[in-house]
Amino acid sequence: MARWTVRIDPAWSLDAWRDAARLALRRGVAPEQLDWLQDQEHSLLDAPPLPASEDAGDAPTYVSKAFVELAATCLCHRDPQRLPLLYRLLWRIARGERGLLSNPTDPDVLRAMALAQAVRRDTHKMKAFVRFREVPGEQDAFIAWFEPEHHIVDRVAPFFARRFTGMRWAILTPSRSVRWDGQALSFGAGGRQADAPLEDAREALWRTYYANIFNPARLNTRMMQQEMPARYWKHLPEATLLPALVRDAGDRVQDMHDRAAQAPQRRIPERSIALRGPATATGDDLDALRTAAAACRRCPLWEPATQTVFGEGPRDAKVMLVGEQPGDAEDLSGHPFVGPAGQLLDQALGELGIDRSTLYLTNAVKHFRFERRGKRRIHSTPQVTHITACRPWLLREIEHVRPAVIVCLGASAATAVFGAGFKLMDNHGRWHALEDGTRAFATVHPAWVLRQPAGTARDAAYRLLLDDLARLPRAGDSADPAT
Ligand code: URA
């Protein structure tokens, strides 16, 4: 029996595989006569290369789109047997088994499906777990190190180009690298982990946040390992915390169980002031307004909350940031934006060179709305009725501070400022003029950024927040910021 070799280079190329398979098929070479080589591999059988010939044998075989897709996906797998497997499938289809792919009990079909599934899973994990780190000293340039199991860099790269169009980035893997210069993708040889930056400042913040939201009572290590297999941990900053968090989870749950239920610290405000809200808040300075708001009962949220969290900042601030409502940390401390979302906001402002102490920070709703789960207080989004009830306080704050620019963080703040029906994701970062001429725009809430899955989704969300906040005037900018 004559034997031939065919070579696929690069090993995952559908075009290269298709050319070789078409040639072999036209020449009537059976699967058992072919030795498939990838990249620069040598033939152990010393078989000669299959000669290209112009004298076509059989007419070309047309295969379904499903087969082409299956082949393209399987080719990204590292198993060298995928090459003869795919040719065997093609050969059988060409010999009359037209419905082969719909036979789920056929061993060749089963194997090909399993290989494709493994590639899809690896692709999904790369999209989720790639972490870009800023290149020190360069603006908007990021490098990520990642170790995929299969040849998926070319397959995944367009996803990152769409997600991170506005920045320059590179992803290095041991066998291939890809770069995006803002215009086009270019591929090259593999890199080394040492060529990627070690850690950037943002990662410490992710870790703080992760440690804060980690709930030991909900730990399910089997699910965790399934969703986030240990081999990807090295790419995730929070993973360094996991062994200790998992190890201590049992003790912490026991501790939560043993601890007596903790009543929220609640200061019941004086009933005599402003029972009906701002209608009685006639004082003409912010302090009087703050005192009146401390006694607000315009909606039921005051009752379970610890206290009213009023706005803070210079009373002549040029920029007012409006959040949704205080969170757990804000409710207990009485100050806006001091919890994890506030820390992320600080991080973003810091990166943009904006001094937080020059801003007036407030919320659309001034009491913490939450649900109790055991001993924990879980944030619950305020309803339009709560936003409407609290709106007069916000309007009075705006009246007093007279900011040149208002930024709404998240949909609740946008509802309070622009009215119900404002579509945040369609309009974020876009300037609007309010009735009194104040310029305003909305962007995503930092807490929403923190809720995104770690990795590319969260990086993209943070980027969106940064890009929108970059519209804010900095010290020394000209008078009209809204251009
Ligand atoms: N989220 C908000 O919207 N406001 C805060 O003050 C804190 C978290």
Minimum-distance ligand 1 atom for the alpha carbon of 341: 8
Q: What pLDDT is recorded for position 277?
A: 40
Q: What pLDDT is recorded for position 218?
A: 73
Minimum-distance ligand 1 atom for the alpha carbon of 329: 7
169-191: average pLDDT: 95
- β 319-323/141-145 pair status: unpaired
Higher model confidence: residue 216 or residue 87? 87
Element (H, E) at 355: none
Which of the four pLDDT bands, split at 50, 70 and 90, describes residue 15?
Answer: very high
Q: What pLDDT is recorded for position 215?
A: 75
Minimum-distance ligand 1 atom for the alpha carbon of 335: 6
Distance 37 CA to ligand 1 centre (A): 59
Distance 366 CA to ligand 1 centre (A): 9
6-31: average pLDDT: 94
Highest mean pLDDT among 46-60, 257-271, 325-339: 325-339
Distance 468 CA to ligand 1 centre (A): 18
What is the average pLDDT value for the chain, to the nearest integer? 86
Q: Residue 176: how many CB atoms within 10 A of its CB?
A: 20
- Per-residue pLDDT for 278 more than 60? no
Task: Please say whether the beta carbons of 404 and 439 come within 8 A.
Answer: yes
Distance 351 CA to ligand 1 centre (A): 20
Minimum-distance ligand 1 atom for the alpha carbon of 323: 3
27-43: average pLDDT: 90
Read off the pLDDT of residues 136-158 as tens digits, 9 standing for 90 and up.
888 778 899 999 999 999 999 99
Read off the pLDDT of residues 317-339 as tens digits, 9 standing for 90 and up.
999 999 999 999 999 999 999 99
37-62: average pLDDT: 77
> Could you tell me where in the chain the CATH 3.40.470.10 domains are found?
286-469
In the sheet with 405-409, reading across from the earlier edge strand, the strands are 359-363, 319-323, 405-409, 439-443, 432-433
CA–CA distances in Å: residue 155 to residues 72, 75, 127, 455: 10, 11, 11, 18
- Per-residue pLDDT for 191 more than 70? yes
Q: What pLDDT is recorded for position 324?
A: 98
Q: Choose which residue among 213, 363, 393, 408 to substitute to test ligand 1 binding: the one with the highest number of ligand atoms within 8 A of its C-beta.
A: 363
Q: Residue 369: how many CB atoms within 10 A of its CB?
A: 22
- Per-residue pLDDT for 65 more than 80? yes
- The Cα 50–Cα 60 span in angstroms is 18
Buried b (16+ CB within 10 A) or exposed e, 372-405: eeeeebebeebeeebbbbbbbbbebbbebbebbb
Minimum-distance ligand 1 atom for the alpha carbon of 409: 3
Q: What pLDDT is recorded for position 201?
A: 59
Q: What pLDDT is recorded for position 473?
A: 84
Distance 327 CA to ligand 1 centre (A): 6
- Per-residue pLDDT for 279 more than 50? no
Distance 324 CA to ligand 1 centre (A): 6
Q: What pLDDT is recorded for position 281?
A: 41
Dmax (CA) of the chain: 102
Distance 139 CA to ligand 1 centre (A): 29
Distance 441 CA to ligand 1 centre (A): 17
Minimum-distance ligand 1 atom for the alpha carbon of 413: 3
Q: What pLDDT is recorded for position 270?
A: 36
Least confident span in 118-127, 207-216, 467-476: 207-216
Least confident span in 57-61, 195-199, 246-250, 340-344: 57-61
Report the percentage of the chain scoring pLDDT > 90. 63
Report residues whose beta carbon is within 6 angstroms of any ligand 1 atom.
Answer: 323-327, 330, 336-337, 339, 341-342, 363, 447
Q: What pLDDT is recorded for position 269?
A: 41
- The Cα 390–Cα 274 span in angstroms is 13
Write the single-letter amino acid at 228. Answer: M
Element (H, E) at 61: none
Nearest Cα residue to 390 out of 287, 325, 298: 298
Distance 336 CA to ligand 1 centre (A): 6
58-74: average pLDDT: 87
Which of the four pLDDT bands, split at 50, 70 and 90, describes residue 251?
Answer: confident
56-63: average pLDDT: 68
Q: What pLDDT is recorded for position 246?
A: 78
Q: Choose which residue among 337, 356, 415, 445 to substitute to test ligand 1 binding: the one with the highest number of ligand atoms within 8 A of its C-beta.
A: 337
Minimum-distance ligand 1 atom for the alpha carbon of 361: 6
Least confident span in 189-193, 214-218, 244-248: 214-218
Q: What is the CATH number of domain 286-469?
A: 3.40.470.10
